[in-house]
Structure 1
């Protein structure tokens, strides 16, 4: 149980850190953003309560101090740069400590000292403005009207509505209200009807606590300082009506990722099993009197096609997660890298609400981190260089994501110096990766693509950030394993863009199964235009290849078997040709036979075949054989 709770704490903790990072970034740009300030306060408060459940004292004390500073900002003043720097430092420290807890289950050995240092820094900021006793959170305006029984006695009316998840934050609503100084009246009711006993949730707080206090407002607010976003106050002598914020939380169900992966695997297996019905139907129809049975099997297969397709799509949606939490992890890393290189960098995030398959998110951290390192180390210039170039002193790196049909495009753009194609060619020649003659034949885009050669690096020396002799080939390999690709574009003096094009989720691909000799291969049906039978006398030699006329167009003809390494087929009276559209042009692929059409869950190739040219992925046939699904565009390069 403890391990389960810790896993939940780590998961929720990273979400809260990401939320606090986002709100702090907004506050740094607009210090008067009340919504961001309230959001940051809630995230820090919840983190503090969760840390208290696990006896993480250095974290709790540090977060308590951060909460004091945020309370001061809500009640006393607009934040200044020093405030936000201190709060960013606290959030970064919590982020590092969460990583340590995930690795080893304990805080780092220097946690006590680091926590004390961060706490002292924040307390100095608080003390510089007001006495600690005056640090209270300003209550939100309210439309709440106290009960009639509260009127006529004077004092301060209180309405405390704990969040449903307050127990998980370490808040004891009854203890908090009982500690109110000058408590003169108390009423407890339910926020929502209780319902039957079978519907009771002991882990959800469903209370509304209304009270009257004869103490001063400052004393009462100090009592509720840690739950200020859940409390409303009304002076009984003067009731003011203004809207109250809605802090309702969206209900979610957390599911072990392994269970979802298992469900996805079963959905894929169902697709394979369903495809086997086609062979059974054909066998039944070949039997004497089996026509009716075969037709019945095909009808059942059509029904299963729809149901399995819906199931597969639904499981794919369950696996979708937003990119926002992944992007948010790079805020701290960008600040640390820029600080170590004495550069000023602003990281901007866009499209964090775009959802992709969990496998994509899990596999993107390392390649994005590598790209970020390159952008900060090699891409953006220092303040002096940017000033001479007429650029803003603070460089901008933007992570942007957008959905494009069944793919997601993720870009990392910087406004740095860009890539010098001539310099890249020179490094490739100097490292023996390319001859001078070959380098001279390359255009600028082909020269930029040299960064994908294994072992290529323009770093003059190894640094703490990059320059380890590991080039962009690792980024390309990672994208390929995820079923996508990566493209680098750059304009010298203006910056660079690294673009990932990846599948959003696992989808069923309609595949045409063809035979070349004894082997079967798949071609994605969305690339196939038609199939034709071309007599040998209509096929003409063109230079080193062949072509045929299809209506008003001349179509080049290539042997698919030769492209995949099989022997050249013997001359035939007619060729069976699959006409596909490749980069906007028609190309004919000669095959020995067209075997079948089916839905398939195509998965990227792994192991030795990962990144094999011309192969989109693989799937299983009903007989258990592996079917490689080919990419015609890459095959004819």
Structure 2
């Protein structure tokens, strides 16, 4: 794909999102001139960028949207839901077009029709607001075609009598010069001209009142070139032309064979499929990487010098000292390089959060519910893969919050609540993890209803359900196929939702949980690692085997005396600082023979699993390390309890365990 087109796509997505944010803010506060100005600038800039390419229908729609926003800025018309809906309709279509361009390098085949529809929609809003930015193109008066035919010598022997003519009426906008249009240059670009007539669009005002920067032309031409060639000449001003193809009968009687109200410019050059992945990075972070690369080159040269001295018979003690110093320097640089690369991949949650106000607005409008939606922690950063991977899970959660959690206004009034359901999307960083929550003050989850549906759908047996606490029952919303919806709609009832949320979050190395109080609301919490590229693990030994456990789930490592390990029914527990915790052996979780246990006690890794702490017994603690984890592939892709693998310095493979899955 062309570099200029790549930059256009990146900029287009940003401007589309900016315009969407401003329009939604404008809907909440129609008097907010700052948001109106910002939306106008975003659309104006996007329209200008589109003008660099052959995407005329896209430019036509954006030009009309710019006119509507300009009229609103000038105080002509008023902002209401219909105006916002029409502008958002245009922005949505522009985003779809940008996605198609990103994939194929050109607009879809129906772009011309859709562009005209959107332009008419914008113009109708201008008409309804009694605004006038540019005169509308009048409906074609076919009399002018006959006059042009009469003025031209269409029956000259040099012309092919059966070849159709193309008639064009071009009425430039009054402000066309400011848009970079040159009507005369466009006229000269029409091939095979047969006749030309220039006239004024409107009567001339008195000489003292003439605006020299306003265009007052109407251009009418006949061409013997093909229809497509004539359309191509006017591809950047399709909203200002009427094009008609005129068939010639054998008796030299011309008639209009086709009215060219549909415009489609020539296809842009095709590109190579999907576009390259691009990421905007702060220049300071790139500078830091460059500095570290320079230091690593110095360290490499020092190591090469040391190797040369060793070949010359350097004293063994001096060699060992130099080797250790070099290794320490490289360790430091690798750690700093790791942090610098992670910083490059970091993205603020804002990049994904800002897509949801529009989603919530549309779902609430579809269901007829009043929602007060807000966001917190938009500046919290996480790895690019984590941020982008959150879109689908959060979309499911927000749909549920609006569809299931939000009550009708009269129900909330009867319960003494505000009429609008409050939904908060929140992000915060806790240690090496990022917590993303969706909290609502709606009806909450009824454990009795969950028990009934789980029993009816065979999600869990009646005996198991009776033994579960309310909190455990509520967790069943994450079970595959579980849904409390009574009927299938566009938004719910298909049994796909919260199980997809948990699967997506766990595939990112995270966990999903739910807290709910009936009548007071629900909170869905997604706990995710800051990065999924490099992972810090603690190596532990069980028998002769070495395994890795991600450090982000480890609370502490402890030694538990044998006297504190107590049997509890079929399991075991231990006391740690006056708190009783479940005690499990890693050998049992991995289904391998237990090694001999020391009489004095056991080494335990205390881990946080959900909201609980669990002690996992191991034989030995090994080192902590940063590893590049590779996911399991091939026949091992579905291996339970294993997140991935990494290579150790001696070439052996270290398996990194998914302890929450093993414990589940």
* TM range, smaller chain: 0.5 to 0.7
- Return the alpha-carbon distance in structure 2 between the equivalents of residues 54 and 586 of structure 1: 60
What RMSD over aligned residues (CA atoms) do the two structures have, in Å?
A: 4.6
Q: 1:303: which partner in 2?
A: 329
CA distance in 2, matches of 1:257, 1:405: 28
Q: TM-score, normalised by structure 2?
A: 0.65
Determine the structure 1 residue equivalent to 2:244. none
- Partners in 1 of 2:509 and 2:85 — Cα distance? 40
For the pair shown, the structure with the greater C-alpha radius of gyration is: 2
The structure-2 alpha-carbon separation of the partners of 1:585 and 1:504, relative to structure 1 and needing over 3 Å to count, comes to closer
Partner of 2:544: 518
Correspondence 1:15 to 2:38: no
The TM-score with structure 1 as length reference comes to 0.68
Aligned to 1:122: 122
Indicate the residue corresponding to 1:80 in structure 2: 79
Cα separation, 2, equivalents of 1:393 and 1:551? 47
* 2:655 aligned with 1:628: yes
Instruction: Indicate whether 1:31 and 2:57 are aligned.
Output: no
Is the 8 Å Cα contact of residues 480 and 495 (structure 2) preserved in structure 1?
A: no
CA contact (8 A) 1:541 1:547 kept: yes
Output aligned runs, 1:1-400, within 5 Å.
1-2=1-2, 4-76=3-75, 79-81=78-80, 82-133=82-133, 176=178, 256-257=277-278, 293-345=319-371, 347-382=373-408, 385=411, 395-400=421-426
Q: In the alignment, is the contact (CA less than 8 A) between 2:385 and 2:532 conserved in 1? A: no
Residue 315 of structure 1: how far off its partner (Å): 0.7
Tell me the residue number matched to 1:190.
Answer: none
Preserved CA contact (<8 Å) 2:535 2:550: yes
Offset of residue 25 of structure 1: 1.8
Aligned partner of 1:567 among 587, 590, 593: 593
Distance in 1, matches of 2:19 and 2:208, equals 34
Partner of 2:51, secondary structure, is: helix
Provide the C-alpha distance between the structure 2 equivalents of 1:634 and 1:519, rounded to a whole number of angstroms. Answer: 20
1:449 to 475, 480, 483: 475
The 1:122–1:553 alpha-carbon spacing in structure 2 relative to 1, beyond 3 Å, is: closer
2:596 counterpart SS class:
coil
Query: What's the offset of the Cα at 1:319?
Result: 0.9
Q: 1:105/1:292 Cα in 2 relative to 1: closer, same or farther (>3 Å)?
A: same
Q: 1:578 to 1:302 in 2, by over 3 A?
A: farther
**Separation in 1, partners of 2:332, 2:406:** 51
Structure 1 residues 406 and 427: alpha-carbon distance in aligned structure 2, compared to 1, 3 A threshold: same
8 Å Cα contact 1:531-1:577 kept in structure 2: yes
3-state SS of paired residue (2:526)? strand
Deviation at 1:295, TM superposition (A): 4.3
Instruction: Report the Cα distance in structure 2 between the residues aligned to 1:297 and 1:374, rounded to whole angstroms.
Output: 59
Contact 1:516–1:566 (Cα < 8 Å) also in 2 = no
Note the C-alpha offset of 1:307. Answer: 0.5
* SS, match of residue 628 in structure 1: strand
Q: Secondary structure at the match of 1:422?
A: helix
Q: Structure 2 CA distance, aligned partners of 1:540 and 1:367?
A: 40
Is the CA contact (8 Å cut-off) linking 1:418 and 1:493 kept in structure 2? yes
Deviation string 1:591-620 (CA, Å, 9 cap, x unpaired) is 1x4454433345676788789776565433
Tell me the distance in 1 between the aligned counterparts of 2:446 and 2:332. Answer: 53
Any conservation in 2 of the 1:395–1:416 contact (CA below 8 Å)? Answer: yes
Structure 1 portions without partners, runs of 5+: 136-174, 181-213, 224-253, 278-283
Q: Which runs of 5+ in 2 are unaligned?
A: 136-176, 183-206, 217-274, 304-309
In structure 2, the residue corresponding to 1:300 is in which secondary structure? helix
Count of aligned pairs: 514
- CA drift at 1:393: 5.4
Tell me by how many angstroms 1:354 deviates.
2.7
Give the drift of 1:357.
Answer: 1.2
Give me the whole-angstrom Cα distance separating, in 1, the residues matched to 2:381 and 2:428.
9
Return the offset for 1:311. 0.5
1:487 aligns with 2:486: no
Alpha-carbon spacing, 1:376–1:102, altered in 2? closer, same or farther (3 Å): farther
Q: Secondary structure at the match of 1:132?
A: coil
Distance 2:534 2:379 in 1: 24
Alignment partner, residue 463 of structure 2? 437
